Structure 1
Amino acid sequence: MTRPRILVVGAGFAGVECVRRLERRLAPHEADVTLVTPFAYQLYLPLLPQVASGVLTPQSIAVSLRRSRKYRTRILPGGAVGVDLQAKVCVIRTITDQIVNEPYDYIVLAPGSITRTFDIPGLTDHAFGMKTLAEAAYVRDHVITQLDLADASTDPAERASRLQFVVVGGGYAGTETVACLQRLTHAAVKRYPRLDPGLIKWHLIDIAPRLMPELGEKLGRAAQEDLRRRGVDIALGVSIAKAGPEEVTFTDGRVVPTRTLIWTAGVAASPLIGNLGAETIRGRLVVTPEMALPGHDGVFALGDSAAVPDLATGDGAICPPTAQHAQRQGKRVAENVIATLRDEPTRPYVHKDLGLVVDLGGADAVAKPLGIDLHGLPAQVVARGYHLAALRTYVARTRTATNWVLNAVAGDDFVRTGFQARRAARLKDFEYTDAYMTTDQVREHVEKTMSPAR
């Protein structure tokens, strides 16, 4: 008899934690585990802004799966583009651009999310995202390039536009991005004697009435004051009306000349979810508290792509798409897969929030561990301690801690790698949202390619 096949889609926080728990709890003879991911690393997203600012190297937050896996889990390099829930087949586009079928007995859907965009003229053509390692590295290169080009320009208008930067999104990603990159340009301009530091201007805008509302009014206001003290212009209740190559128009009518628009205004579930033909809530797959897909045996979903009921609140809410929830859901869903495999009862996901941390760079930070409000250096200690604990390998922790110390002592060399010498890449170039199959296309493909004997 063949062993049951467990297929995990996605190597984010949810998928990797699920695989880790499966490897620990399952005996080798009980099941075969396959992880589908285009990259053989887990990206620690909360520290992505620090890669963009050069505080951390990309390798620090890209935790190798081949280093940490004990070679029991098969890593299939590619992305899931469709799932036939009836035939129990996942359709995968490999990194060699081949379309292959991967049959399964149990599937865990954790494909994560993509940057959420809106129908704003010019947005995807002219904005940068901050969701992938490539985007973070590219944004750093772009920002340093703007300083070089401004320094070389003899046109005052061009110089001013290259030294204005706009970040959209007042959540954790946007706030940390503007904080880290503002520190980068503030330090770098000292190496450009021809540039007036007063010309450098960072704008942070968000349609919400306050920054990071999850932190509460006190800490949100503290973070806002820290940024304003450093010269960041914060505009709330405002968004983007249109974007162009050399200027951005705000919804309040202001026109800001800029060559840099960074969009961090939320995430949306992977397009894979919308093509399953199953019920969704705000684009996320409807699942039971046990994270099972109703009406489909052996199908589980979690993380950013699933509307997991938040039983801790008791008000019918769903869990927010955070790393903290994804990690803990990964552990619980692995236990439920094992329970299903062994014909044992499954358990619902219940989690008590451990708190929030926001690293604004240097000694600036806000944190709310276990409901305790912290600001400044104590918050920074908690924030960095949390991140080090959350990184899964000692190698990643050592690299990250070493980078922090080295940056604090020696600073940055502000070297650009040359990405800008090629065709400019924007938000639309980093997320392949048109690669997914519809439900009908998946079913037709599976019927054509699967052997009748199966």
Structure 2
Amino acid sequence: MNTVTRPRILVVGAGFAGVECVRRLERKLSPDEADVTLVTPFAYQLYLPLLPQVASGVLTPQSIAVSLRRSKKYRTRIIPGGAIGVDLKSKVCVIRTITDEIVDEPYDYIVLAPGSITRTFDIPGLTEHAFGMKTLAEAAYIRDHVISQLDLADASQDPQERASRLQFVVVGGGYAGTETAACLQRLTHAAVKRYPRLDPGLIKWHLIDIAPKLMPELGEKLGRSAQEILQRRGIEISLGTSIAKAGPEEVTFTDGRVIPTRTLIWTAGVVASPLIATLGAETVKGRLAVAAEMNLPGCDGVFALGDSAAVPDLAKGDGAMCPPTAQHALRQGRHVADNVIASLRGQSMTPYVHKDLGLVVDLGGTDAVSKPLGIELRGLPAQAVARGYHWSALRTNVAKTRVMTNWLLNAVAGDDFVRTGFQARKPARLKDFEYTDAYLTPEQVRAHVAGAGRQE
């Protein structure tokens, strides 16, 4: 009896790029055309741009975790785990499941959208003492941690301990760092009113970045506007400065200053997922070098997109690469799905072209700066554009309802500043969340796949 095996499409990563790709494949492929599998540790798409609002308590964690199982056409098999290596020659992806079991998943087409990890440097104490802002658990933990510093400072009789618990340092003057500092400063500013024993003047937020300007992508005027808004709130901004070393109770800046603090939040950029290095293929600044069609030259059925791929930005030209933003990832996800389908059906693939639509930065409350379609906005109009953009980009009506309800409730009733305690007494620093030591080397991948093949 002859059995016809359907082509196997494997999508790695459930970020903006991976989820958009899977959804389009489900819509455009008939069930008997191909089998679609998604590798992700969690069965949800995290809406990353709103993480600072989770950390500050404006939004609940569930509201930005968009379920992957709500689609009416849902038929994708989800493997709960993370890809730790890919053997391009054997067409096998090595996966570590959430129970630490190693499984090999063969494929005919693979779409690599593993996203990025926090970029760190060889700074003494950084990974042991800094918090990141890349996962839902980190955002929820940081909220608990910041409120706990207020609780502990309020209870302390030691002026030095109190001062160190009420100073907060955020490293990174990009969107993530700026929005994190802005949103959390509003949290502590509002919360301190519930602590009559605490002097509000002791609460100090520091935002530092090695670059000479805050969010240079916004342009000179808007970047300066954002800086003025934060300084008006009392956030101390230090540019051209970074961290020399970090400890459990103090941070040393590169300009020699020593800041007593129990809270160091590191948001100084991202790098491509270590999965890309396991391929042994050409990279551009760590991102996989792909063609404009987002396929890997010389490797049949291999596609990459999002933060981990160096996709040529044809709209800009001059050899530019698409920046790792949500608007590019969303569109690349849909486009790469079309190219996978074209390849599957023996049709021609098309290059990815998208002109940047602009940028939005939500600084909390009525403060924001936005640049939609090149138009510079500040204050309430910018806030309306920023929240309108984020709201419309949420994939399901349930998620949109939750986020809108949270915004309205927070605006009307404020916050109760309650700690959940779910992560209490558990390690929760940079090194504990991103599992960067889980990946294999290209040689280990090939040896593992060859060994598994012999056992069969």
Give the match's secondary structure for 2:279. coil
Deviates most, 419-428 or 367-376:
419-428
1:142 counterpart residue number: 145
Per the TM alignment, residue 438 of structure 1 is displaced from its structure 2 partner at its CA by 1.1
Give the match's secondary structure for 1:180. helix
1:32-431 to structure 2, matched below 5 A, reads 32-68=35-71, 70-419=73-422, 421-431=424-434
Distance 2:36 2:327 in 1: 24
Distance 1:95 1:231 in 2: 43
Distance 1:101 1:196 in 2: 57
Q: Retained in 1: the 8 A contact 2:174–2:215?
A: yes
1:5 counterpart residue number: 8
Per the TM alignment, residue 443 of structure 1 is displaced from its structure 2 partner at its CA by 1.1
1:338-395: CA deviation from partner (whole Å, max 9, x where unpaired):
0000111101110011111000000000001111000000000001100110000000
Q: Retained in 2: the 8 A contact 1:32–1:73?
A: yes
1:239-287: CA deviation from partner (whole Å, max 9, x where unpaired):
0011011110111111111000000000011111012100111110000
Distance 2:164 2:70 in 1: 44
Distance 2:265 2:406 in 1: 25
The one-letter code of the counterpart of 1:29 is D
Runs of 4+ residues deviating >3 angstroms: none
Distance 1:65 1:227 in 2: 37
Q: TM-score, normalised by structure 2?
A: 0.98
Distance 1:112 1:127 in 2: 21
Distance 2:206 2:455 in 1: 59
Give the match's secondary structure for 2:431. helix
Distance 2:84 2:455 in 1: 23
Distance 1:418 1:39 in 2: 21
Give the match's secondary structure for 2:30. coil
The one-letter code of the counterpart of 1:305 is S
Per the TM alignment, residue 17 of structure 1 is displaced from its structure 2 partner at its CA by 0.6
Distance 2:324 2:53 in 1: 21
Distance 2:221 2:211 in 1: 16
**RMSD over equivalenced CA pairs, Å:** 1.0
Distance 1:403 1:14 in 2: 26
Per the TM alignment, residue 71 of structure 1 is displaced from its structure 2 partner at its CA by 2.9
1:436 counterpart residue number: 439
Gaps of 5+ in 1: none
| Shift in CA distance, 36/324, structure 1 to aligned 2, threshold 3 Å | same
Give the match's secondary structure for 1:130. coil
Give the match's secondary structure for 2:23. helix
Gaps of 5+ in 2: none
Distance 2:416 2:356 in 1: 39
Per the TM alignment, residue 448 of structure 1 is displaced from its structure 2 partner at its CA by 1.5
Per the TM alignment, residue 139 of structure 1 is displaced from its structure 2 partner at its CA by 0.3
Deviates most, 96-105 or 394-403:
96-105
1:378-418: CA deviation from partner (whole Å, max 9, x where unpaired):
00000110011000000000000000000000000000122
The one-letter code of the counterpart of 2:185 is Q
* Sequence identity (%): 84
Distance 2:423 2:103 in 1: 35
2:32 counterpart residue number: 29
Per the TM alignment, residue 66 of structure 1 is displaced from its structure 2 partner at its CA by 1.1
Q: TM-score, normalised by structure 1?
A: 0.98
The one-letter code of the counterpart of 2:129 is H
Distance 1:421 1:23 in 2: 40
Give the match's secondary structure for 1:275. helix
Give the match's secondary structure for 1:67. coil
Number of aligned residues: 453
Residue 449 (1) aligns with residue 448 (2): no
Give the match's secondary structure for 1:174. helix
| Shift in CA distance, 69/122, structure 1 to aligned 2, threshold 3 Å | farther
Q: Retained in 2: the 8 A contact 1:142–1:420?
A: no
